[in-house]
Chain A
């Protein structure tokens, strides 16, 4: 089928797997030699990495959600509320429950939001996400309002205060979710979802159910976000609406724009790049949005397919040169 021919060969799955492993190896090496500050930054980076790969799964269906970070917040708040009295559920269990809660909320959102396309989709997800965030602020009895909920613990098997052990946990989650997402991406369903993302009408005429496929990728991506939210909350020890700011959403979208989303390494590359920039401007954090904004603006104007596109162009020119030689 011509539509499937546009999709990728299985070879790229190996590339995705390599990406996941390279991230884990890179983070572990850096954490082993780095200062405690660097270790903390790596935990945040790894949590964001979970976030971007889950986000990429949503983008494969052709829609760029702006509610991802708010849905991550659902996971975070679920962990905070469930792990404290009166529920007192072990933190490790609440991570999974947080993912489920995020999946549930996204499933509820999916019906209205997925009826829209393109600009309507950005706007409705943006508004839905912002409304969710307002709920975190307004439902004070449950969420603690703007000050949030404090004293959230690490899972029982991670020693309190041990950043390295927590980092190992985050990397394990990253590995499992990364494996899950890339297998899903390579499966027949994942392929169908990408086909829907490329051409919805054509896919429908080939007997696929676009709505169900899009909803599936939206919900599965959101589950990853919920788990990432739980990890972040547990690491910070506190959850507050400010953790799930539009700035973080911008960072995730920017990572995907700067890096590209066709393969798994694109968003990771973008995220790495943005994180390095962020750390370089650590002394003047107020300028970080300015620099990110400038980078994203430049990327959208001059590098349409992101760093991935650059890599592709580089490879194409190498191949050409080899042929001429």
Chain B
């Protein structure tokens, strides 16, 4: 039972990180390397929000409000990123990758200068633990699982059940066809990038009390997200969810078995193995 809960917790963590990346890539074929830094900025927004308005409103309210703050900050950055970089370089995937890589270093330096290189920690706004049978789980983790599940289900509804979502899917499947049907590819592209950035920011804010906050937290988590979206099939959001669950399970079992130090190696071998057999990932479409 404890193991099942841990798997759930780890999966939701991997999912929140990979989701925005998979969305942006799936629709626009753009890899945002600064995604990790958006995540980190989300966490710092949460930190600022809780320490500034927390004393007056109470920690929990401030924590919830910080999601909005994180979404605004990263959403604005997403708009900027689209207007300055992505729009100009739309047909050059490598250049976008490098440009966002450059951006990610710049953001890291800015945050180090503003907040210092040493990490901050955010006391959990929801203290205490919950017992389910003989398993225990901190409430804060329960909250993370619920929040991220809500985020994912919300995204699913937006994509599958709304008019906007239909347009987004149309662009992802066939940009030319979408244009012929009167869908503005640029508008959809900008919207997706902003949505992906906001997901990164909100995830950062949600995770802030659990993981600790450092200027380098985004970069540290990014390679895992890359492995997840490669194995899941780049661009397939549901593939990313499945791969997050796969790695959540594998990593939990390995940690339980005391082999936590071989995680990176195992993950990489799994990725390389999947690539050898299915170059476009488990659920990816052939290109």
Contacting pair A253 B223 (CB below 8 A): no
Query: B111-132 interface mask toward A, CB cutoff 8 Å, 1 = contact, 0 = none?
Result: 0110000000000000000000
Given that A123-B230, A130-B223 are known contacts, is A254 also in contact with B102, CB under 8 Å in the complex? yes
Contacting pair A116 B279 (CB below 8 A): yes
Residues of A within 8 Å of B, CB-based: how many?
41
- Asked whether any CB of chain B lies closer than 8 Å to the CB of A38, the reply is no
Instruction: Write out the residue numbers on chain A whose beta carbons fall within 8 Å of the beta carbon of B95.
Output: 257, 300, 304
Given that A119-B93, A123-B234, A124-B271 are known contacts, is A293 also in contact with B265, CB under 8 Å in the complex? no
Per DSSP, chain B at the interface is helix
Count the A-B residue pairs with Cβ separation under 8 angstroms: how many? 126
Q: Give the residues from 209 to 248 in chain B that come closer than 8 angstroms, CB to CB, to chain A.
A: 219, 223, 226-227, 229-230, 234
- CA A193 to CA B143, docked complex, whole Å: 53
Instruction: Write out the residue numbers on chain B whose beta carbons fall within 8 Å of the beta carbon of A127.
Output: 223, 226-227, 230, 268, 271
Given that A138-B262, A300-B89, A301-B99 are known contacts, is A126 also in contact with B276, CB under 8 Å in the complex? no
Contacting pair A120 B99 (CB below 8 A): no
Instruction: Write out the residue numbers on chain A whose beta carbons fall within 8 Å of the beta carbon of B261.
Output: 138
- Asked whether any CB of chain A lies closer than 8 Å to the CB of B155, the reply is no
Smallest CB–CB gap between A27 and chain B, Å? 27
Contacting pair B31 A122 (CB below 8 A): yes
Query: A291-317 interface mask toward B, CB cutoff 8 Å, 1 = contact, 0 = none?
Result: 011111100110010000000000000
Contacting pair A131 B113 (CB below 8 A): no
Query: A83-116 interface mask toward B, CB cutoff 8 Å, 1 = contact, 0 = none?
Result: 0000000000000000000000000010111011
Given that A109-B272, A134-B264, A246-B219 are known contacts, is A297 also in contact with B99, CB under 8 Å in the complex? yes
Contacting pair A119 B29 (CB below 8 A): yes
Q: Give the residues from 199 to 253 in chain A that come closer than 8 angstroms, CB to CB, to chain B.
A: 246-247, 250, 253
Neighbour of B102 across the interface among A123, A124, A128, A293, CB < 8 A: A293
- CA A118 to CA B279, docked complex, whole Å: 12
Instruction: Write out the residue numbers on chain B whose beta carbons fall within 8 Å of the beta carbon of A4.
Output: none
Neighbour of B223 across the interface among A126, A247, A295, CB < 8 A: A126
Contacting pair B93 A120 (CB below 8 A): no
Smallest CB–CB gap between A142 and chain B, Å? 12
- Asked whether any CB of chain B lies closer than 8 Å to the CB of A34, the reply is no
Instruction: Write out the residue numbers on chain A whose beta carbons fall within 8 Å of the beta carbon of B271.
Output: 112, 124, 127-128, 131
- Asked whether any CB of chain A lies closer than 8 Å to the CB of B275, the reply is yes
Contacting pair B31 A301 (CB below 8 A): no
Instruction: Write out the residue numbers on chain B whose beta carbons fall within 8 Å of the beta carbon of A116.
Output: 275, 279
Residue of B nearest to A295 (CB): B102
Instruction: Write out the residue numbers on chain A whose beta carbons fall within 8 Å of the beta carbon of B89.
Output: 300-301
- CA A128 to CA B276, docked complex, whole Å: 13
- Asked whether any CB of chain A lies closer than 8 Å to the CB of B88, the reply is yes
Q: Give the residues from 116 to 146 in chain A that come closer than 8 angstroms, CB to CB, to chain B.
A: 116, 118-120, 122-124, 126-128, 130-132, 134-135, 138
Given that A127-B271, A287-B109 are known contacts, is A292 also in contact with B85, CB under 8 Å in the complex? no
Given that A123-B234, A289-B109 are known contacts, is A294 also in contact with B264, CB under 8 Å in the complex? no
Query: B152-175 interface mask toward A, CB cutoff 8 Å, 1 = contact, 0 = none?
Result: 000000000000000000000000
Smallest CB–CB gap between B22 and chain A, Å? 11
Given that A127-B230, A301-B85 are known contacts, is A113 also in contact with B264, CB under 8 Å in the complex? no
Neighbour of A123 across the interface among B31, B84, B113, B279, CB < 8 A: B31
Contacting pair B108 A257 (CB below 8 A): no
- Asked whether any CB of chain B lies closer than 8 Å to the CB of A64, the reply is yes
- CA A122 to CA B92, docked complex, whole Å: 13
Given that A119-B25, A120-B234 are known contacts, is A293 also in contact with B103, CB under 8 Å in the complex? yes
Contacting pair B276 A111 (CB below 8 A): yes
Instruction: Write out the residue numbers on chain A whose beta carbons fall within 8 Å of the beta carbon of B280.
Output: 120
- Asked whether any CB of chain A lies closer than 8 Å to the CB of B249, the reply is no
The 5 closest A-B pairs by CB, nearest first: A134-B264, A131-B268, A130-B223, A293-B106, A293-B102
Q: List 5 A-B contacts (CB under 8 A).
A: A128-B272, A286-B112, A286-B113, A289-B109, A301-B85
Residues of A within 8 A of B (CB): 64, 109, 111-113, 115-116, 118-120, 122-124, 126-128, 130-132, 134-135, 138, 246-247, 250, 253-254, 257, 286-287, 289-290, 292-297, 300-301, 304
Seed contacts A131-B264, A296-B99; 13 additional CB < 8 Å A-B pairs: A112-B276, A115-B279, A116-B279, A124-B271, A128-B272, A132-B268, A135-B264, A138-B262, A253-B98, A257-B98, A289-B106, A289-B108, A296-B98
